[in-house]
Structure 1
């Protein structure tokens, strides 16, 4: 059956005022690691810097922004505004930050590497791996979960889940029971027939990985992603604290003063769907490995890159979006990039690489932007992101 796209009705995260899906980001401090040096300064494009400055200068714009362009091992770092309104400290490439739904690319990496090892199959079903979940969901496959064509109802849209988050944003959820919030609901559509972005999908992906290996998802991340890519400042937490130094995230709602929401919510409510914390520098290293060919075998990668036209990440990335298996294609006026976006209270991110994995763009702002949260700012943000993508790709 051909796949059609349907716009997701609920955003990945909400503003501080609503807080309904605010649990889609957060972390605990990882083990202390040696600070990596700042990338060596490279000649910068004045026009790109102006674009970033103008974005931050908008009335409802982010207090700060950082963009890293990495080409052939050399990084250009562009920053504007501040990563901490209290001190005026600029955002830095080795500061921590919440990456929200970009975390879905990490759960995708775990699952696809397990496929390569023969411990999972893209055709494995929920019924085979997670028989405790509702029988109505049992026919859904791992590939459909990764491609957001499963039809699973989104737990983060559930009224009871939202009520808990609003009452206590730092509530400690049992991350492995998040799907219980929607266990009494049927599938939203026949598996494989539609594209609909759902936070439930990547929770189920992580649970399938645990069932196939008998190991905790956090351990699988460390063995299958962090170590191969040499990620030393990346973690999947459960609480609300951020490790120092970090880029502070803000709710920006003029005429009110920006409100620091960096440690507003517990990450336990997002887990494999949105809980990872890392640095812009390490995010770039990950996306070059994942968007390029180094982490996944050619056969599995071919399945991963079977894109669904019109399937957008949340928020939409630059250019025209298409959805693959835990990865998106962004077709800009200057060429294609593979990657993922994410947003949560205080943070909005894009991480993308060239298909050969030699170049990457990491773009982060420290306020939440999405189609239902500052849609006009999102349009401006996507324009600036495309200009940076063109600089990365060598176009105009």
Structure 2
């Protein structure tokens, strides 16, 4: 059982399996379904069928203890919840709860990089060799565009045996986030840059390092200046440690027949940094995605490059419908229409944030356990079905 002491291990196999997929308790209370406490004007009629789907999701034996879906249409918001955001207290999820957004952090690094492109401080054709000459010579021809679109060929540091050994022995180990690529510095590229699509956590570490090199400023400061402030994000941050701000949506390892284990603060964010370390809330995540996936944050020219998609390029885990990969953003073509967004999974959490291309509507969908194509694939399949149904509700009437 996980304790707060450093050096303790997670449930056997959890850390290695979870970090590879993410590359990165107590008795379960009866499911509680409800609507978040917004003002009455923000509570339009709820679809009972959608509510029932959330309840069935948390009722699955290996399903999440809780789920929250936030649909925003202009100035109108609907909040659907089922189950609990904290098993110990029975508290339901809330749209202002902090949570780990996992690989949706990659969209934030994309936002920083593309805003710097708009400012003329970066170019999509800039290479690792030009901006990060100390990185391996074999990587020097890789461009910013290829990093953002996961066609770089960089090996994934989060799958490196030495990295996994460290994080398994001490999940709260504090890494030097700017040296994470050192774990794979002796490895060649997996393929010629631009030749294939392969999702890699190393890509967005390199993106953040290139942003720092181009500006002489720390990535965390660039996030505040270029993303948080323009979009009014006050509860979003990139920590180095394992603590979460209060209140938070608790994340769990759910492995029946064992009781769910609270792993919200089990793992240091320093080991994923720009690739997966950001903490936000459902409400602010929606605001971010409306800005980044819509036209608000970027120039028309840069946005055209951002939204040049590679068919078949899936986020991790795959989002609803058919996936295609843009620059730190994905296109989700559902049976009801197209959304732009990103997903993520990390120990304790699986996330989706998506917006209509015009940035006027958004959906965030958060569960407090991890699922991916290699971890609970049946749960992921069910989750994607429910997500698509919520996407259709978001798109209704357009």
What's the TM-score bracket when you normalise by the shorter of the two chains? over 0.9
Residues 1:19 and 2:21 are matched in the alignment: no
1:60 pairs with one of 62, 68, 84:
62
| Greater relative CO (CA pairs within 8 A, separation 6+) | 1
Secondary structure of residue in 2 paired with 1:254: coil
Counterpart position of 2:272: 270
Counterpart position of 2:377: 375
Query: Matched residue pairs, number?
Result: 374
Aligned counterparts of 2:379 and 2:125: Cα–Cα separation in 1: 40
Secondary structure of residue in 2 paired with 1:195: coil
Aligned alpha-carbon RMSD (Å) = 1.7
Residues 1:206 and 2:202 are matched in the alignment: no
Counterpart position of 1:249: 251
Secondary structure of residue in 1 paired with 2:54: helix
Counterpart position of 2:230: 228
2:295 pairs with one of 278, 293, 296:
293
Q: 1:15 to 1:358 in 2, by over 3 A?
A: farther
Q: 1:54 to 1:395 in 2, by over 3 A?
A: farther
**Contact 1:96/1:243 (8 A) holds in 2:** yes
Cα shift at 1:160: 0.2
Cα shift at 1:17: 2.4
Cα shift at 1:25: 9.1
Q: 1:234 to 1:214 in 2, by over 3 A?
A: same
TM-score (norm 1): 0.92
Aligned counterparts of 2:184 and 2:38: Cα–Cα separation in 1: 45
Listed as ranges, the gaps of 5+ residues in structure 1 are 1-13, 27-36
Counterpart position of 2:7: none
Aligned counterparts of 1:25 and 1:235: Cα–Cα separation in 2: 19
Counterpart position of 1:166: 168
TM-score (norm 2): 0.92
Q: 1:187 to 1:237 in 2, by over 3 A?
A: same
**Contact 2:68/2:81 (8 A) holds in 1:** yes
Secondary structure of residue in 2 paired with 1:19: helix
2:43 pairs with one of 28, 41, 65:
41
**Contact 2:23/2:159 (8 A) holds in 1:** no
**Contact 2:329/2:342 (8 A) holds in 1:** yes
**Contact 1:42/1:76 (8 A) holds in 2:** yes
Listed as ranges, the gaps of 5+ residues in structure 2 are 1-9, 25-36
2:241 pairs with one of 220, 239, 242:
239
Aligned counterparts of 2:12 and 2:133: Cα–Cα separation in 1: 37
Q: 1:103 to 1:353 in 2, by over 3 A?
A: same
Residues 1:342 and 2:338 are matched in the alignment: no
Aligned counterparts of 1:307 and 1:218: Cα–Cα separation in 2: 28
Q: 1:174 to 1:129 in 2, by over 3 A?
A: same
